[in-house]
Every structure is written in C-alpha cells, then in structure tokens.
C-alpha cells in the first residue's frame, strides 16, 4: 500500500524559512539542494510512514523523525495518508499542540 504524502501549510512555511536562512548563509544552490533533500525524504514516507518516535499521548498518529541530525520532522499518519505538520531545523524544536502548532510545553 502506498500512502499519500502531503505538506501542511505550516510545514511549507517552515521549509521556506529554512531555505531563506540557508540561502543567506550558504547561497541559493546549497539551500535548494537541502530543501529538496528534505522533500525527497518526506516523499519516501509513502511506502513506510510508521517510523520515528510515536507521540500518541500528544495527538493520535503524531510522530517525529530526525533528518540528518539537522532537522526534526513532525508528521501525522492516518489510514491512507501522511501529513508533514512541521519541520524544525537546527535544534529549533517545539512541543506541538492539537493543531500542530508549537506551544510553550
């Protein structure tokens, strides 16, 4: 079975912020390559989404997984889909509330 992979608008905004930060520091080529690697990694969840750390106590189906020890991806697994909720880069981590928003946890 293949799951449908989608990016929540907040995850898309996170990717844009990461891109801008990296483009400023390292240039557009490196920033684009890094963002594309994150997106490609997330797309791989279509075949095996149930990986990473389960956080069902916060929200049923919520999981987090690291990416190259540089980012944390928060995602939600449902019956036939995986939604990337947030992407936290370089230790910028947060506790997520029920809507996938960072909270002061």
Show the domain range for 15. Answer: 4-91
Residue 79 sits in a domain whose CATH number is 3.30.2310.20
100 or 38, which is more confident: 38
The whole-number pLDDT of residue 91 equals 55
The whole-number pLDDT of residue 29 equals 97
Q: Could you tell me how many helices (H) and strands (E) the chain has, helices first? A: 2, 7
Quick check: is 100 in a domain?
no
pLDDT-based confidence at 87, cuts 50/70/90? Answer: very high
Quick check: is 71 in a domain?
yes
Span 10-38, pLDDT tens digits:
999 999 999 999 999 999 999 999 999 99
Quick check: is 97 in a domain?
no
Quick check: is 70 in a domain?
yes
| pTM listed for this prediction | 0.83
pLDDT-based confidence at 104, cuts 50/70/90? Answer: very low
Span 54-69, pLDDT tens digits:
988 888 889 999 999 8
Quick check: is 72 in a domain?
yes
Quick check: is 102 in a domain?
no
> Angle formed by the axes of helices 9-26 and 28-43, to 10°?
150
Number of domains in the chain: 1
Quick check: is 25 in a domain?
yes
């Amino acid at each position: 079975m293949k799951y449908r992979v989608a990016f929540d608008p907040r995850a898309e905004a996170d990717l844009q912020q990461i891109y801008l930060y990296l483009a400023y520091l390292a240039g557009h080529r490196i920033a684009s390559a890094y963002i594309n690697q994150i997106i490609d990694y997330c797309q791989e969840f279509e075949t095996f989404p149930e990986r990473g750390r389960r956080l069902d106590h916060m929200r049923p189906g919520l999981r987090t997984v690291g990416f190259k020890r540089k980012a944390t991806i928060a995602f939600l697994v449902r019956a036939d889909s995986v939604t990337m909720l947030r992407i936290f880069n370089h230790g910028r981590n947060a506790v997520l509330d029920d809507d996938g928003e960072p909270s002061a946890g």
